[in-house]
Structure 1
């Protein structure tokens, strides 16, 4: 949405945003004992290879987005002119990349004459190419007719980066230039999403897929592609390895489908010494991958199986824990994607996870960036990648909704998106059941995934606190003979009380009478401090999602402490006293004040009420809490329990969940056994 600020105020706001963002980056470098990035240095800065926090990632994007908007605000004509003429930069870059100029320069400096001799290019013409690139901060001119690498150009010195640039500028760009207009305007092509209607097919006059055409007619492009994608893996793989909790897996097998040389999945092995990897691709690529691992990763190769595989045919590995596809689905039309996904579904068990990794185009109307920045911080990489898929395959980069549309008829559904600070996203999928009512809850609880990791355990490592709201349902206040509060009040539970699905039973301390309390849990996605109840957009934007929680309470211990006027945090804080379901994306609960919570003990219904009975709604709760203590990403807020609380004893089995419009939310289903704790604390009156 266009900003309503005056142009001068916009400029001052952009100036302030840049200043604030620089302060964030300075603090981050200080915390890691790093210098700030120096564009004139040829050393790869440590922060380029580490995962950035949301705050630091947004600071980077703020500077990029503000700089882009400043240019457009100051001189639109210059911006348009530079965009029109930017093909000269890519043409110059293609030449220096093909001639290996970055490798020739290395970390030293080379005269134009010597550079011309090494490349075979006329020195005058080479100088004209280099000065354009230097003016765009690719290479630098250190003396008259003497050039050197800088922080940008040194990245071109690796074989993988050289292959990536060659792939983009030699194998892809000419197709867009020559075939895109015809594909978009010709009557018999413009509305087609068939492979034969792609700009690539039009330019090459073929009905073959890109990969089949390259293999048959342009083998240099075919064999360059895996190396080029390994450069992408270098950029994205570290983010993938850290975004999804591979480190939490207790073992098992990951199948890297179409994994090229395995640069990304290698990082999974480094994250977790217990997992095994199956690396799949076409036979020539697999042979090259085995040679690559033998030379470069001899310490890991014993944990890798190299499996030739065509993902349009039967998946040879059955029942793996994780099937991982990075930058695969975007290469194919919807029809072909369904074939790929169907083969994987047939190999999956109810315990398998399918992870689809790639860039996801951001929204241009909704996003985290403050005004007057564009909501997506003017990031365009995902849109460029999307157009590349259009050029080559008549395909696209797909959102979670796009994937759901393809997979739902196959019985597979998106359950969560994992990402760090960029547009690269890991979309986690699993088996789903399209029809459900309470008669099938028992069956569903036992058939929903019990993967060897807890996908929600990521929160445990990052959360700071669990905040529990007390007395937020009138009937619950009555059943415990408590006084109705005039404002929200809360208590804090330790993170050590968390009990994730399939991690074991609730343990009853000796001498304690323990009650269950089912609650809707809020999972924070962004920081909130001193928010006002009226700022509902800000509040709900800060919420990442929800979960179902069972707030276990040592009731006799709590009551005794209340009578003595003592704190009763211990009554809520025993280990295992906070069972919690899988993460529920907030899109699954569009109105958190109109959902039905339920809990059974030994299949006897004990609690069942709608969240519309909350005395204090979520905006009021978060206003109250954030006015006292800062709410941070991954914090958990329990919003109170309805009536029906009661005791559990050794051998009991609790089941709980949440329904929206009468339909069960699969991620919210949970089953927890209750057992006596051996040893430890004993409560005595």
Structure 2
């Protein structure tokens, strides 16, 4: 038996230094060839990006992958946070098209030149900067983006408010018998940070992290397909066609809508749409909204309580339900259903619908982040049907864009 185990171990060692799937490499390269003579639009870019990632997976050996995941990527995260903290990205962005010497960066950041050189070496090796000569670096599009707070904020927010919970996941799951977390205030985050607060409550008491999180969410939504666009959801035919007349008729209620970015965008894209546009969020959020006259109205409201706006044309939830386990989602949804006018009101849910196969890494990564921070989840279509049916709704249609991103789940009362 020992000989056989040794042979088995040796065979696995041999696999670890072989390319992941070298057989697929010619096929993947062939799939790229037609795009050489085509203009790279967004659809083509995403398709090529998917092939490129598959090509890296096919060429990289398991040993290389292990070293990358254990050494290069964890230290990259730390290097990025240090570079944000000391201002390296800001200084590099001041001369975006000229090489910057390490000596200059060390002087303006007041860092040890040796430390600066080591950080820049790794940041360059991982593609954050471009190394043009020894100790001479050029900015990239990525490093320029990280000079902006809305892109840098995600790193600092996750470092302060998530990483401890991520690294203690094995300990947490051992303590629960590897049960899927479904209690909003008794999950991995509470276990690691020794608190009984929900993540959102915990963050709200830490203004710096809260601001970083808001920046991060702004970056997350940047450049993604919007359901309000004419090639996504048929706004005129499916939403505006039956709006009740009158000065008090409500077209859209954006529940948990923060500072109103979605309804501001809606008004810009559909300026002649009839009816009121109302954003609801907790009182402490609404108090931070600038008091400026405009089409969009703001109202303090806790979505775990009775919905005060009755009979609106549509109630809208954007990235709300994925923050909560099913039990809390049913409470939110039942308050909405109680306010809806049968045969007239719609429920519009703007969220990810996880495909049963070949889900994008952005969705799966967010799913596990939500599990860690809020015992919440991204949902498959079957899970959306079950949740909405339990709350008294039926799905009319799930609208998705050709270039991916979040879907719009259109619902009505069952």
Selected match of 2:389 from 401, 404, 408: 408
Unaligned runs of 5+ in 2: 1-20, 244-249
Partner of residue 385, structure 1 = 366
- State whether structure 2 residue 410 is matched by structure 1 residue 428: yes
Aligned residues: 374
- Give the structure with higher Rg (CA): 1
Shift in Å at residue 341 of structure 1?
Answer: 1.0
CA pair 96-322 structure 1, distance change in 2 beyond 3 A: farther
CA pair 409-147 structure 1, distance change in 2 beyond 3 A: same
Selected match of 1:304 from 296, 300, 308: 296
| Contact kept? 2:188, 2:373, Cα under 8 Å | yes
**1:198-220 Cα deviation digits (max 9, x unpaired):** 1100012122211122234x332
Selected match of 1:105 from 59, 68, 92: 92
Alignment of 1:46-195 (within 5 A): 52=42, 56=43, 59-76=44-61, 77-85=63-71, 86-106=73-93, 108=95, 109=98, 110-177=100-167, 179-187=168-176, 190-195=179-184
Q: Distance in 1 between matches of 2:349 and 2:364?
A: 18
Q: Distance in 1 between matches of 2:251 and 2:283?
A: 21
Shift in Å at residue 111 of structure 1?
Answer: 3.2
Unaligned runs of 5+ in 1: 1-6, 30-51, 295-300, 365-374, 433-685
SS at structure 1 position matched to 2:305:
coil
Partner of residue 270, structure 1 = 268
Shift in Å at residue 381 of structure 1?
Answer: 0.8
| Contact kept? 1:354, 1:428, Cα under 8 Å | yes
- State whether structure 2 residue 210 is matched by structure 1 residue 225: no
**1:363-383 Cα deviation digits (max 9, x unpaired):** 33xxxxxxxxxx45xx31110
CA pair 247-22 structure 1, distance change in 2 beyond 3 A: farther
Q: CA RMSD in A?
A: 2.5
Q: Distance in 1 between matches of 2:373 and 2:129?
A: 30
Selected match of 2:222 from 234, 252, 255: 234
CA pair 71-229 structure 1, distance change in 2 beyond 3 A: closer
**1:132-179 Cα deviation digits (max 9, x unpaired):** 2222222223444333321222222323222233223332223211x3
**1:504-546 Cα deviation digits (max 9, x unpaired):** xxxxxxxxxxxxxxxxxxxxxxxxxxxxxxxxxxxxxxxxxxx
Higher strand share: 1
When normalised by structure 1's length, the TM-score is 0.51
SS at structure 1 position matched to 2:396:
strand
Selected match of 1:207 from 196, 199, 212: 196
Higher helix share: 2
Partner of residue 358, structure 1 = 351
CA pair 262-128 structure 1, distance change in 2 beyond 3 A: farther
Partner of residue 658, structure 1 = none
Partner of residue 662, structure 1 = none
Q: Distance in 2 between matches of 1:119 and 1:200?
A: 34
Partner of residue 27, structure 1 = 39
Partner of residue 585, structure 1 = none
**1:210-257 Cα deviation digits (max 9, x unpaired):** 1122234x3322343333322223243x53332223355356522222
